[in-house]
Structure 1
């Protein structure tokens, strides 16, 4: 049985992103906290698989009840705060987003941005995914506001490259899209439409009003890149 600290991440059946931290320093107790849209549960190293699963599930329920009970912060306001912090750190505040919000009607796009209003919209299908993946999509839309006339050209890519995990996030989103589409083929008409990932080929068309409204083509569906 391993005595080394390890970490694993997954999304449970309720769509909650969970990170299990198995700590060699933790001997008997477990703890849980809601951090950056992820449930982080710390457990002792050496728990059996079944015991760990039951303890983690119980801790998730307890913490989520507190999160729901105390959920008075506007999630869109939090998203805008994150966007402005990323804009300052990565782009010297050149993007200047006027607003950022979660939306439920973007079933074929991960995100979109409007030059006219400087509003950014993120699909709520991103919410269960890790923070760094959400931040990649947010950085992508901010980069459009920094380079509004370049589409997905060289200048745009150079700006987006300031986000440190472009490659990792692209692969992650590709895997999410592929997994959902595989499930949809196995059980037709039961799975929601899932956005295709953002990549580096055949990106969307856009105009001054709304970016990311075209076809990505990498997995054969429309994107929101």
Structure 2
């Protein structure tokens, strides 16, 4: 009687690496777990090849469906974690944002901050942009929480200058805003009033971020 190998490995049609382990201690049950990006399926050693093949493929499909249904990380929770890490690194934790969320209804603002509730909202138009551009907008709103009474004044700008790519991000966002403004049927606003820098390129206008309401100290534009 031929001796079958105790372990076989293959890759299924969906590209999943699979290792089948034949165990003499198993009699009726099979199990599957992920180990270092490989699906390991344990089966009874006494199974016929046909039975083993059917049971293994069925178990793999079940586990793949389970993984597909797994909860996707909360994008807002990840954004809040990023904001708190940046706050610690750039501002020594002084901004202390209470919540940070992506929103879809900020069509004329890249971001906004509420000084009373310490909430930050970022336009989801940023989500397809480079990470350092997203982080710049986040740093801009965090700087408002650090300097809540300075608007876009010198103390605010001093805090924001802690972010290493302020100038680059301003130019990037100004270009994007200009693109929105020149598209047919685009809403007015964005960087149309931006002041060019020394190279003749427009810089992002402060109006692209938030409004300062003197009566309640909030920067909000939802």
Check whether TM > 0.5: yes
Bigger Rg, which one: 2
Alignment: residue pair count: 143
Superposition TM-score, scaled by structure 1 size: 0.57
CA apart distance, 1:209:
5.2
Q: How does 1:54-73 map to 2 (within 5 A)?
A: 72-73=72-73
Q: Structure 1, unaligned stretches of length 5 or more?
A: 1-67, 214-223
SS of residue in 2 equivalent to 1:152: coil
Q: Does 1:79 align with 2:87?
A: no
Query: Distance between the aligned counterparts of 2:85 and 2:141, measured in 1?
Result: 14
Q: Note closer, same or farther for the CA distance 1:200–1:74 as it changes in structure 2 (3 Å cut).
A: closer
In structure 2, relative to structure 1, the CA distance for the partners of 1:70 and 1:199 (3 Å cut) is farther
Q: Deviations over 1:81-121 (max 9, x none)?
A: 00000000000000000000000111111100001110000
If asked which structure has higher relative contact order (CA below 8 Å, sep 6+), I would say: 1
RMSD, matched Cα: 2.8
1:124 and 2:124 aligned = yes
* Cα distance, 1:201–1:119 mapped onto 2, change above 3 Å: closer
Q: Identify if the C-alpha distance between structure 1 residues 74 and 147 changes in structure 2 by more than 3 Å, giving closer, same or farther.
A: same
Give the corresponding residue for 1:103. Answer: 103
SS of 1:102's partner is strand
- Name the SS of the counterpart of 2:143 in structure 1: helix
Contact 1:114 1:211 in 2 (8 A): yes
Query: Which residue of the other structure, out of 199, 205, 209, is the alignment partner of 2:205?
Result: 199
Matched residue, 2:33: none
Is the 2:84–2:93 Cα contact (8 Å) retained in structure 1? yes
Conserved in 2, the CA contact under 8 Å of 1:102 and 1:124? yes
